[in-house]
Amino acid sequence: MTIYQGMTVTMELLFRISNWLYRKGVPVLPRLLYIFNRVVFSIVLPPSVTLGRNVSFSYSGLGIVVHARCCIGNGVTISQHVTLGGRSGLHDVPVVEDDVLIGAGAKILGPVRIGRGASIGANSVVLHDVPPFATVVGIPGKVIKTGSKAHSAVPPAPTFTS
Ligand SMILES: CC(C)(COP(=O)(O)OP(=O)(O)OC[C@H]1O[C@@H](n2cnc3c(N)ncnc32)[C@H](O)[C@@H]1OP(=O)(O)O)[C@@H](O)C(=O)NCCC(=O)NCCS
């Protein structure tokens, strides 16, 4: 296991523990783990977030901000500096279905559902629902591709093993 992988595993493990403690109603400790992740890994991932399995956080979550009520499905890839958050005046927050790819710096804001297998381009600002397997880019985000496909548009993070 590389240092990068170890950092990501540690960050996610701390989140999983904080999430479990939060759901059991344990006070204080979930918040402390959340703060540790925020300080050490620069990720804002509150204990109340619903996070699926096999979610991949680029660069151990660097700069990622997730609203406390967000739901993130299985197999989602979240690149660095992504925000999943609220929009002023609107209560609901993003739901990200399975196998979505979210490019670096993308912002997904408000009551938005990102359909399964969709790709969100780097630095996009998504304000509306995205159909399954669609590709969205730009500000505001617009669908540029539709249909089913396996995405591979985010290169793996460097591992520095050599
Ligand atoms: C959105 C994305 C998934 C699309 O990948 P793709 O399906 O291979 O699409 P293409 O590269 O063929 O681009 C299709 C069109 O969208 C445009 N485009 C692609 N990504 C874009 C982006 N982030 N913002 C604006 N336009 C974008 C391309 O210029 C192209 O336009 P054109 O047809 O007018 O030439 C990909 O470009 C992307 O942004 N991936 C995330 C990369 C990332 O975050 N890397 C992190 C590295 S650490």
Catalogue all structural domains in the chain, each as residue range(s) with its CATH number.
Answer: 46-145 (2.160.10.10)
> In a 3-state reduction of DSSP, which class is residue 30?
helix
Edge-to-edge strand ranges of the sheet holding 65-66 = 65-66, 83-85, 107-109, 125-126
- C-alpha 138: how far from its chain's center? 18
Predicted TM-score (pTM) above 0.85: yes
- In tens digits, the chain (162 residues) has pLDDT values of 899 999 999 999 999 999 999 999 999 999 999 999 999 999 999 999 999 999 999 999 999 999 999 999 999 999 999 999 999 999 999 999 999 999 999 999 999 999 999 999 999 999 999 999 999 999 999 999 998 765 666 666 555 543
Separation between Cα atoms, residue 153 and residue 162, nearest integer Å: 24
Q: Residues 142, 126: contact at Cβ < 8 Å?
A: no
Cα 138 to middle of ligand 1, angstroms: 9
CA of 89 to the centre of ligand 1 (A): 31
Pocket test for ligand 1, best of 80, 137, 154 (most atoms within 8 A of CB): 137
Neighbours of 79 (CB within 10 A): 23
